[in-house]
């Protein structure tokens, strides 16, 4: 091994002076031996990081993410360290911060994450040494930046000099990773886990912080709240150059812990991937290498199952299994909550079974003297994710990628849509799904819960019989989950798509059918966004979309994404205008009479898009949100993309919804340009935002809250990292953008630049090869590193 060589000081793009030390040879296991990485900052602050080991690569990622988003990472750690109440306050013992702290405090006291890091589990060596090195390097890079800058000199006011900003440990990052894995499982039911308490002698316990409607919805919804996505995988039959193409269009929050971060990571000869990851993650999760590109969409599959427990009479904390009583285990945890005279302790006792934690959802899953409900979260022991994404980045074809998915089964709650340079496209829901087969469902879901399973995929199993345990598929990565043979996958030469409906219609020419209901539904109506996504592909391939030629190029794919069609408007606008023209007065839900003439005029002039200059688009959105989009015809399984399509003008609820929409927009011109009422703040600027709600059938999804009399002044979530990548013999090319920009720091040069770019439907180019990177006129190169620690 060559001796480490001292590098000269380099001035970074931010004016920081950094002294580096050369890296270890590839493959060396690195601890306290020094770190070094080369950073090439391209336009919009996107870092291209090159290092000679995974530890050094992690160091570079940790350093640049701290430069741009230190406050986001620090707050994520506060959450999983169960200190939100301490640092961000609480209104009382039932505050959301307190509930979060109690949940994560239990995980800390149980040493949940430490037990996942023990090494080989169920035949898979995960996390691998490469991933452990990358996490170790990430922590060292973050800490290096924090140490050099100092908490009191951070430029981001969100966390400058805050007591919750501290150096990280590796365990901190593993805890944030675990929290992400369980987002659609036990974390979605956090309130119900915290609230669960045995009944009193006179009836069910009155849990003071029992979950409300949001938790009930979470219990019935397989997807994490607030996230979604569109994606296309295009094969040789769908592209102009006969190579593969991928559209990535995840819909994620524009603020907080789930923002994406663009980056390009390279360990020469071992890993070379450009794309994006959630802030605080050290590996690219959506992106491309030289010959393969992929994206993720949120899957409909359920991540946990319920077990109905038959309790021992007189002892509601014991339950029967095969006729024998078993005692629940308990753990009492305590967190410190700010009070009027300092901090006060708040304690809660949690109850666990061999299935998992007891959960209460009042009115649906109550804890009574005779019955309780526990869940098994299939992702609670998922420690395979970073290894899976690392191997995805090394795959060269979609068939290689499919083998990675089969081997690791690591995706917590997302599908994969991919394509390769050979011209093959792949769709797969190879996510972590509890092993509820049709046979198990028929034998073990009690009759009262069979309709719930049929309608939603929620499985409530008989917890009193060991025969109703999840069991093990022979090809599964771990016990308790469906193996690859029981999961939907399609490899095609034309195309696959997904927009958060189930796997069924990934390609209408060959519907995927015959899979367990827990994964998703089949032969049922698709959302308007799914239908628009399919219609756009079909029109492009037929050459009927108004663009020249047939087949996709990166340019035409970009125009497809940001064409901003409103499919619901295309279907019903004319009928709606005819209805309100004939009956110009409507009655709102509150009984008020509403003049609809101005609304009719605005809708008649609307261009059926959600562009910045579209007038009346927000009126149609409010009509849809008021539940006005009701169809007169029925869904036809033989024509799933185009049915239903006729407005039910005979239904009085349609006119009521339009009247409600007019009332909601009081003080806001009904024919206003969308860009004047839908904006995103960046400093003292208000950037106009195009796009709109999925419920209206909009592909470029933007979700925001209406402020009465003002409009929609802040995006909540929607299009985030958008990538249209074209693969071919000369490497990848195409377009990409991070809609909300690279940094959360208002003093960063990269705080709003891509947001303004998005507003104008602009883009940044794919920069993967050295030639592409060097051609960037704003390129700045520097090294980051640290010497040996003693």
Structure tokens of 442? 């028929």
Cβ-in-10-Å burial (0-12, 13-18, 19+) of 153 comes to: exposed
Q: Where are the beta strands (DSSP E) in 3-67?
A: 10-11, 17-18, 35-41, 47-50
Q: What is the pLDDT of residues 771-787, one digit of tens each?
A: 999 999 999 999 999 97
Cα–Cα dist 769/383, whole Å: 32
Tell me the whole-structure pTM to 2 decimals.
0.94
Query: Can you give the pLDDT at residue 14?
Result: 34
Residues of the chain scoring pLDDT < 50 = 1-30, 122, 206-208, 211-221, 788-790
Q: What is the pLDDT of residues 414-463, one digit of tens each?
A: 999 999 999 999 999 999 999 999 999 999 999 999 999 999 999 999 99
Query: Can you give the pLDDT at residue 787?
Result: 74
Query: Can you give the pLDDT at residue 389?
Result: 98
Residue numbers annotated as active site: 229
Query: Can you give the pLDDT at residue 200?
Result: 83
Site of tokens 């030639």: 771
Cα–Cα dist 517/453, whole Å: 7
Q: Peptide bond preceding 752: is omega within 30 degrees of 0, i.e. cis?
A: no
Query: Can you give the pLDDT at residue 206?
Result: 46
Q: What is the pLDDT of residues 505-556, one digit of tens each?
A: 999 999 999 999 999 999 999 999 999 999 999 999 999 999 888 999 999 9
Site of tokens 């002076």: 17
Q: Where are the beta strands (DSSP E) in 673-759?
A: 679-682, 685-688, 702-704, 715-719, 721-726, 733-738
Site of tokens 């700010």: 338
Site of tokens 């979060």: 100
Question: Could you tell me how many residues make up the chain?
Answer: 790
Query: Can you give the pLDDT at residue 342?
Result: 86
Q: Is the dihedral of CA 513, 517, 519, 520 positive or negative?
A: positive
Question: Any idea what the Cα angle at residue 506 is, between residues 496 and 382, rounded to 5°?
Answer: 95
Structure tokens of 688? 């106009």
Question: Any idea what the Cα angle at residue 260 is, between residues 554 and 85, rounded to 5°?
Answer: 165
């Amino acid at each position: 091994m060559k001796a480490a060589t001292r590098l000269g000081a380099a001035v970074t793009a931010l004016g920081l002076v950094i002294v580096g030390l050369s890296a270890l040879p590839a493959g060396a296991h690195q601890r306290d031996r020094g770190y070094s990485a080369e950073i090439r900052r391209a336009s919009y602050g996107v870092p291209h990081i090159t290092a000679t080991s995974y530890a050094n690569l992690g160091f570079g990622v940790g350093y640049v993410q701290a430069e741009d988003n230190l406050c986001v990472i620090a707050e994520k750690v506060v959450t999983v360290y169960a200190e939100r109440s301490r640092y961000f306050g609480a209104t009382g013992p039932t505050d959301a911060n307190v509930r979060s702290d109690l949940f994560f405090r239990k995980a800390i006291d149980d040493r949940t994450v430490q037990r996942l890091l023990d090494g080989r589990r169920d035949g898979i060596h995960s996390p691998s040494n490469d991933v452990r090195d990358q996490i170790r390097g990430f922590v060292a890079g973050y800490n290096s930046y924090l140490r050099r800058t100092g908490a009191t000199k951070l430029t981001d006011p969100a966390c400058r000099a805050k007591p919750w900003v501290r150096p990280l440990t590796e365990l901190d990052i593993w805890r944030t990773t675990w929290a992400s894995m369980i987002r659609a499982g036990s974390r979605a039911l956090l309130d119900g886990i915290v609230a669960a308490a045995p009944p009193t002698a006179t009836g069910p316990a009155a849990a003071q912080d029992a979950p409300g409607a949001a938790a009930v919805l979470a219990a019935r919804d397989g997807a994490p709240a607030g996230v979604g996505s569109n994606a296309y995988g295009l094969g040789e039959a769908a592209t102009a150059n006969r190579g593969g193409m991928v559209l990535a269009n995840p819909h994620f929050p524009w603020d907080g812990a789930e923002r994406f971060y663009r980056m390009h990571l390279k360990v020469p000869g071992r890993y070379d991937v450009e794309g994006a990851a959630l802030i605080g993650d050290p590996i690219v999760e959506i992106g491309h290498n030289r010959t393969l590109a992929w994206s993720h969409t949120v899957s409909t599959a359920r991540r946990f199952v319920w077990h109905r427990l038959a309790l021992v009479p007189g002892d509601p904390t014991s339950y029967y299994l095969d006729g024998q009583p078993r005692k629940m285990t308990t753990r009492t945890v305590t967190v410190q909550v700010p009070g009027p005279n300092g901090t006060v302790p708040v304690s809660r006792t949690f109850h666990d079974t061999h299935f998992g934690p007891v959960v209460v959802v009042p009115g649906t899953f109550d804890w009574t003297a005779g019955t309780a409900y526990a869940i098994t979260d299939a992702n609670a022991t998922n420690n395979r994710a970073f290894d899976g994404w690392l191997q995805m980045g090394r795959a060269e074809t979609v068939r290689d990628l499919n083998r990675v998915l089969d081997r690791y089964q690591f995706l917590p709650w997302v599908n994969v849509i991919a394509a390769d340079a050979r011209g093959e496209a792949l769709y797969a829901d190879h996510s972590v799904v509890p092993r509820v087969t049709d046979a198990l469902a028929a034998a073990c879901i009690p009759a009262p819960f069979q309709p719930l399973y049929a309608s939603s995929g929620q499985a409530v199993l008989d917890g009193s019989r060991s025969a109703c345990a999840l069991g093990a598929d022979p090809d599964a990565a771990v016990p308790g989950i469906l193996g690859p043979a029981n999961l939907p996958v399609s490899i095609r030469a034309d195309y696959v798509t997904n927009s958060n409906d189930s796997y069924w219609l990934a390609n209408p020419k060959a519907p995927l059918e015959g899979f367990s209901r827990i994964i998703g539904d089949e032969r049922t109506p698709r959302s308007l966004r799914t239908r628009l996504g399919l219609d756009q592909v079909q029109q492009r391939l037929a050459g009927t979309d108004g663009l020249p030629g047939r087949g996709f190029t990166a340019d035409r794919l970009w125009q497809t994404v940001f064409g901003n069609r409103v499919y619901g408007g295309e279907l019903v606008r004319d009928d709606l205008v005819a209805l309100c023209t004939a009956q110009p007065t409507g009655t709102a839900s509150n009984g008020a009479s509403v003049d609809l003439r101005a609304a009719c005029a605005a809708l008649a002039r609307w261009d059926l898009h959600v562009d910045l200059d579209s007038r009346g688009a927000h009126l149609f959105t409010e009509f849809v949100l008021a539940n006005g989009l009701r169809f007169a015809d029925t869904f036809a399984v033989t024509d799933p993309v185009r049915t239903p399509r006729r407005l039910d003008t005979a239904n009085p609820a349609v006119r009521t919804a339009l009247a409600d929409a007019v009332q909601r927009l009081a003080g806001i011109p009904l024919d206003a340009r969308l860009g004047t009422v839908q904006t995103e703040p960046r400093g003292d600027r208000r950037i106009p935002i195009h796009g709109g709600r999925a419920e209206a059938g909009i592909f470029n999804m933007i979700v925001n809250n209406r402020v009465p009399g003002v409009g929609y002044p802040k995006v909540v979530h929607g299009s985030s990292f958008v990538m249209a990548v074209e693969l071919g013999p000369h490497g990848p090319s195409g377009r990409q953008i991070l809609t909300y920009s690279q940094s959360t720091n208002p003093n960063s040069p990269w705080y709003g630049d891509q947001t303004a770019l998005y507003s104008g439907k602009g883009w940044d180019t794919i920069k993967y090869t050295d030639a592409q990177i060097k051609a960037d006129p704003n390129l700045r190169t520097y090294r980051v590193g640290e010497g040996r620690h003693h």
